[in-house]
C-alpha cells in the first residue's frame, strides 16, 4: 500500500511509520512540526519507501499519485499542548479531519481516525465501553481536545454514511514509550524525568485517580489490525489493567531506584478524569487483539530512552 500518516513526525505517528515500512508499504509522513519533531523520523532518511512532507493539514492537502490509506494522527495530544494551543487543536480536529477525509474520498482510500479515550470525558461508566456516549464539559479547558475528537468522529461517520468512505476509528487509551517528549506534560514523561533527576515525583491530589497504560508497540499492533479489518465502528485500544497514579509513581521510583520519594500537590486540571479503564471486548472479538507488553518491561525501555535524552 501507499499510506499517508498525518502527524507522522509525532510520538505515535513515527512508530506507525516504522511499522508500515517494516511491512513493505510506502509511507508518506505529513506533519507541520507544531508538536512533532523530525528527530523521530531521522532514522528513516534515505529510505526509498519513505517521504516526509511538511504541511499543515488544516489547509488543503495535495498528494500526487495513488493513496491506499490515510491514517489521521495529527493533533496536539497532551494537556500542556492543547491548553497552550486550543484553537490549533480545534482546527486540526475539524478542518484537518475534513481535509484528510476529502483526500481519502478523492483517492478512494481507506481512512483511519486516531480518536481518544478523552471522548468519554470524566466517565460515569466504568470501565468505558464504545457504546458509552461520555461525560464531557464542552466549555472547560480540556473541552478543546475532547470536543475536537468527538466532532472528528462524527465527521468520519458522516463521510462513511454519505460518501461511502471506508473508515475506521480507534479510541486510544494512555500510551507510552520511546519518542515521547520529555516536557509534554503527561504523567509518564513527568515521572520518569523527575525520577532520573533524583527528584520527588509530583502526585496531584491524593494519587487515587486511576489510569491504564499501554506500551506503544501494543497500540501500533492494534491500529494496524484495525486498518486491515472490515470494521467501521469505534474500537478501544488500551490496556485494561487499571492502577492508581500513586501505585504508578511507586513503580517508576522502583525501576529508576529513585530515592526522592513522592510529594503531593492539590492542583488539578479542571475536568481531569478520575478513572480511566478501557473495555477491550470489541478489540478482542473483532481484531483478536490485546496488549502483551508488561508494564515494567515497557517502562524499562522507556526509561532507557529518557536516560539518553537527558
Known catalytic membership, residue 204:
no
- Give the residues across from 278 on adjacent strands: 128
Whole-model pTM above 0.85?
yes
Q: Is the pLDDT at 272 greater than 80, yes or no?
A: no
Residue 66: pLDDT over 70: yes
- What is the pLDDT confidence band of residue 69, given thresholds at 50, 70 and 90? very high
* Range 59-68 average pLDDT: 97
Question: pLDDT by residue (tens digit) across 189-241?
Answer: 999 999 999 999 999 888 888 899 999 999 999 999 999 999 999 999 999 99
pLDDT at 270: 58
Four-way CATH pick for 187-209+242-277+295-309: 3.90.25.10, 3.30.1310.10, 3.40.50.720, 3.50.50.60: 3.90.25.10
* pLDDT confidence of residue 184: 84
Contact indicator for 30, 75 with CB cutoff of 8 Å: no
| 70: DSSP letter | E
> For the chain, what is the mean pLDDT?
95
Domain segments of the chain as ranges: 2-176+215-238+278-287, 187-209+242-277+295-309
Query: 86-112: per-residue pLDDT in tens?
Result: 999 999 999 999 999 999 999 999 999
d(CA 162, CA 246): 47
C-alpha–C-alpha distance, residues 288 and 102, integer Å = 31
Give the active site residue among 82, 120, 145, 224. Answer: 145
What pLDDT score does 269 carry? 57
CB atoms within 10 A of CB 140: 16
Which residues face 237 on adjacent strands?
Answer: 172
User: What is the C-alpha to C-alpha distance for residues 276 and 259, in angstroms, rounded to an integer?
Assistant: 29
Which CATH superfamily includes the segment(s) 2-176+215-238+278-287?
NAD(P)-binding Rossmann-like Domain (3.40.50.720)
Would you list the DSSP string of 212-244? --EEHHHHHHHHHHHHHS---S-EEES----EE
Locate 190 and state its grid cell. Answer: 513527568
Q: In which residue are the cell numbers 508494564 written? A: 295
In this predicted structure, the answer to whether residue 310 has a pLDDT above a threshold of 60 is yes
Q: Does residue 157 have a pLDDT over 70?
A: yes
33 pLDDT above the threshold of 60:
yes
Round the CA-based radius of gyration of the chain to a whole number and report it.
19
Amino acid at each position: 500500500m501507499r499510506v499517508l500518516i498525518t502527524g507522522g513526525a509525532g510520538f505515535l505517528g513515527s512508530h506507525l511509520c516504522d511499522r508500515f515500512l517494516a511491512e513493505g508499504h510506502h509511507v508518506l509522513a505529513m506533519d507541520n512540526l507544531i508538536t512533532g519533531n523530525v528527530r523521530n523520523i531521522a532514522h528513516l532518511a534515505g529510505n526509498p519507501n519513505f517521504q516526509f512532507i511538511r504541511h499543515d493539514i488544516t489547509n488543503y492537502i495535495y498528494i500526487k499519485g495513488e493513496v491506499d490509506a490515510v491514517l489521521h494522527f495529527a493533533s496536539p495530544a497532551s494537556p500542556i499542548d492543547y491548553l497552550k494551543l486550543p484553537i490549533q487543536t480545534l482546527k486540526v480536529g475539524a478542518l484537518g479531519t475534513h481535509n484528510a477525509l476529502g483526500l481519502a474520498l478523492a483517492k478512494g482510500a481507506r481512512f483511519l481516525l486516531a480518536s481518544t479515550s478523552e471522548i468519554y470525558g470524566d466517565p460515569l461508566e466504568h470501565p468505558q465501553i464504545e457504546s458509552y456516549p461520555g461525560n464531557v464539559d464542552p466549555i472547560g479547558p480540556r473541552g478543546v481536545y475532547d470536543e475536537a475528537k468527538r466532532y472528528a468522529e462524527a465527521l468520519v461517520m458522516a463521510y462513511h454514511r454519505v460518501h461511502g468512505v471506508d473508515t475506521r476509528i480507534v479510541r486510544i487509551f494512555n500510551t507510552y514509550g520511546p519518542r515521547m517528549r520529555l516536557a509534554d506534560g503527561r504523567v509518564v514523561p513527568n515521572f520518569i524525568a523527575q525520577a532520573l533527576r533524583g527528584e520527588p515525583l509530583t502526585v496531584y491530589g491524593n494519587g487515587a485517580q486511576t489510569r491504564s497504560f499501554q506500551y506503544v508497540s501494543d497500540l501500533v499492533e492494534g491500529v494496524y489490525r484495525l486498518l486491515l479489518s472490515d470494521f467501521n465502528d469505534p474500537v478501544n485500544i488500551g490496556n485494561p489493567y487499571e492502577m492508581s497514579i500513586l501505585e504508578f509513581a511507586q513503580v517508576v521510583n522502583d525501576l529508576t531506584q529513585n530515592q526522592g520519594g513522592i510529594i503531593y500537590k492539590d492542583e488539578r486540571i479542571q475536568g481531569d478524569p478520575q478513572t480511566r479503564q478501557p473495555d477491550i471486548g470489541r478489540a478482542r472479538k473483532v481484531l483478536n487483539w490485546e496488549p502483551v507488553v508488561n508494564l515494567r518491561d515497557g517502562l524499562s525501555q522507556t526509561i532507557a530512552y529518557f536516560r539518553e535524552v537527558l
